[in-house]
Amino acid sequence: MLDLSMIIGDQTVAGTTTFDILNPATGELVGKAPNATEDDLERAVAAAKAAFPRWAALPDAERKAICGKLAGQLEQDAESIARVLTMEQGKPLGGMGSRFELGGAQAWAGYTASLDIPVKVLQDDNEGRVELHRKPIGVVGSITPWNWPVMIAVWHILPALRAGNTVVIKPSPFTPLSTLLAVKAMCEVLPAGVLNVVTSDDTLFNVGAAMSAHPDIRKIVFTGSCGTGEKVMRSAAPTMKRLTLELGGNDAGIVLPDCDPEAIAEGLFWGAFINNGQTCAAMKRLYVHDSIHDAVCDALVAYSRNVKVGNGLDETVHLGPINNKKQFDKVRALVASAGKEGNVLIGGAPDEGLFYPVTLISELDDQSPLVTEEQFGPALPIIRYTDVEEAIAQANDSTNGLGGSVWSRDIEAAKRIALRMECGSVWINKHGAIQPNAPFGGVKRSGIGVEFGEEGLFENTDIQVVFQ
C-alpha cells in the first residue's frame, strides 16, 4: 500500500490526516493520500510565491534546459507511475491506457519545454521602436481531474514553468497518487518551491475553492466539469485571476453517406470509447446518414464484441471500469432512460462493481438525455439523419463546443462541414487526436482559453509593451 506525502517548498508533508484511494476494479485499498489543511495550502502558496522571483529571473535558456529535463524524469519512473495510475483510475496498463498516458505526458513535457518566448517587434522605424514582451504571471494554481491525471498535470505544469511561473497543483481526490509520484519525480530537478502539490478529498477543507479565491495565486488552470468551472470563475473574479478552463464536451461526429462502414468502425469506436468514454473530447453523439445507418451500427457492434472489459492490470484488457460510483450511477441512469426510448444494440445493463459494458443505442430522439447530456462513460447514442443540414444543426445544438468530427471519403466536403461546426477542434476521419503543437480548447460552455503549442504557452504570460 502506498502512503505518499505532499511536496511543499523543499519539504515532504505527510498531513495530519489521510484519505483512502480505492481501486475501482476491485474495491481494494491502493494507498492513502494526505488531507491538506488550510495551513498546508497557505504554506504551499507562500513557497511558490517565494520561489517565483528567482525562477522568473533565470536566463531563459537556463530555465528552458531545466524544463527539458522533466520529460526524462517522467520516463525514468514511467512504469511504476503507470501501474499506480491503473490501480487508482482503472484504465488498462496497455493499449491506450496508463503506459500510453505516461508516454503522452513525456511527449507534451518535451515539446512544451522546447518552445521559445521571443520578443515581438511591433514597430521599428524613424518614429520609434515598439516591443511586445511576454512576462510570467506569478503563482499558477492547477486543479486537475481524475480521467487523465498525469497527462493533464503535465499540460498544466509545463507551460506554466516554461513561462517562468511557479505552480501549486491539486489533483483529483480519486486519483492523487500517480500525480504525487509524477510531481516527486519532477521536483528532483526543479528548485525548491517552484512546483508544489497538495492533496485533499475536500471533506475537511475545500482546497480547490480556496485556491480559486487566493489573492497570491495569479492564475488558475482548471480541467473538469462546466458546473465546477462556473464556481472557479465566480471565486476567481474578486482577484481578477487569469483563467484557462477546459470544461465538459458533448462532441458530435457526423458520418456522411459515402463512408465505408467497416473501414471507419475502429476509428469511430476509439473516438467514442478511449479511456472508457471518460474523456472530455471523446465522441459523445454520432450522427449517421440513413443510407448507411444500419451498416455502421452493425460494424460498430461487431467491433465492440471483441473489446475486453476488465481489471486494467490484466494485459489482455482493453477497457477498465468507470472510475467512481457517482459517474457510474450517472451513466447507468442515462442508459436506462435511453433504453426505454431507443434500440439497445449491445450492452445496456451494468456488470458487477463499477464495470459497465460498451453500450450502443440507436433510434433515439435528438432530445434524449443521453444525446443532450455529457455521459462521460461507455455509452454512445447513434442518431439517424437524412439531410446533412439537419445533422449540422443538431450537432451545433448544444451548449458545449469542445470537439467534433466529420467522416467522409471526400476530404474537401468534410472540411466544408467541419468549418461550420461550433467547436474548438474538428477532426476529419478521426476523433480526439490531440497533439502538443496544436492549440486545444473549447467554445461556448466548454471553456475559456487554450492549451498546447505556442498559444497555450502564451496564456501563462502577461503582455508588456515597451515603447522607445
* pLDDT of 105: 98
Walk me through the domains of the chain, giving residue ranges and CATH numbers: 2-247+446-467 (3.40.605.10), 251-428 (3.40.309.10)
Q: Compute the half-sphere exposure of residue 400: CA atoms within 13 Å on the CB side of its CA.
A: 29
Is residue 218 within 8 Å of 139, Cβ to Cβ?
yes
CA 352 to chain centre: 27
What is the predicted pLDDT for the residue at 381? 98
Q: What is the DSSP string of 351-404?
A: -STT----EEEES--TTSHHHHS---SSEEEEEEES-HHHHHHHHH-SSEESEE
CB–CB of 342/363 below 8 Å? Answer: yes
CA distance 364 to 440: 30
pLDDT digit string, tens, across residues 350-370: 988 999 999 999 999 989 999
CA distance 314 to 336: 29
Secondary element (H or E) of residue 102? helix 98-114
The single-letter DSSP state of residue 453 is H
38 is catalytic: no
pLDDT in tens, 302-356: 999 999 999 999 999 999 999 999 999 999 999 999 999 999 999 999 988 999 9
Regions in the chain scoring below 50 on pLDDT: none
Catalytic residue flag (residue 67): no
Residue 44 to residues 3, 15, 78, 80, Cα–Cα distance (Å):
20, 13, 26, 26
Beta-ladder partners of 451: 440
Within its chain, how far is the Cα of 418 from the centroid? 22
Quote the distance between the C-alpha of residue 18 and its chain's center. 26
pTM exceeds 0.95 for this model = yes
User: Sign (positive/negative) of CA torsion 24, 26, 31, 36?
Assistant: positive
Find the farthest-apart pair of alpha carbons in the chain and give their distance in angstroms, rounded: 75
Q: Residues 246-268, buried b or exposed e (16+ Cβ, 10 A)?
A: bbbbbbbbbbbeebebeebbebb
Nearest to 318 by CA among 301, 303, 329, 328: 303
- Report the sign of the C-alpha dihedral through residues 264, 266, 270, 272, in that order: positive
Q: Considering 280, 297, 423, 459, which one is annotated as catalytic?
A: 280
Predicted confidence at residue 10, as pLDDT, reads: 87
The active-site residue out of 246, 374, 451, 459 is 246
Per DSSP, the three-state class of 66 is helix
Q: How many CB atoms lie within 10 A of CB 170?
A: 26
Give the per-residue pLDDT at 1. 86
CA distance 427 to 411: 11
With b for 16 or more beta-carbon neighbours within 10 A and e for fewer, the 424-459 pattern comes to: bbbbbbebbbbebeebbbbebbbbbbbbbbeebbbb
